[in-house]
Amino acid sequence: MTPLAPHLSTFLRAHLPREYGASQHTIASYAHCYRLLLTFAAERRKTRPSQIQIEDLDADLICAFLDHLEVARSNTPR
């Protein structure tokens, strides 16, 4: 299994600002979205968000997360 946390941290702290020139607001927005995803995944997998592995994020989980955003949070595409 491949831990997600180190890769996600590198993406948010190094890749986004250096490669894309992302602002702190953009990085905070990405971090918030990932926090929502990891919390959802942890609830589904019955574990802690810090224990989520890359392999846990399969297509079924992502689709369920997107459905959750629409239904529970009333987030819809514009």
Domain ranges of the chain: 5-72
- Identify the pLDDT of residue 1: 79
- Residue that has been written with the tokens 């997107």 in this structure: 66
pLDDT digits (tens, 9 = 90+) for 10-62: 999 999 999 999 999 999 999 999 999 999 999 999 999 999 999 999 999 99
- Identify the pLDDT of residue 77: 80
pLDDT digits (tens, 9 = 90+) for 37-49: 999 999 999 999 9
Contact call for residues 48 and 42 (beta carbons, < 8 A):
yes
State phi, psi for 8 to the nearest 5 degrees: -65, -40
Contact call for residues 26 and 16 (beta carbons, < 8 A):
yes
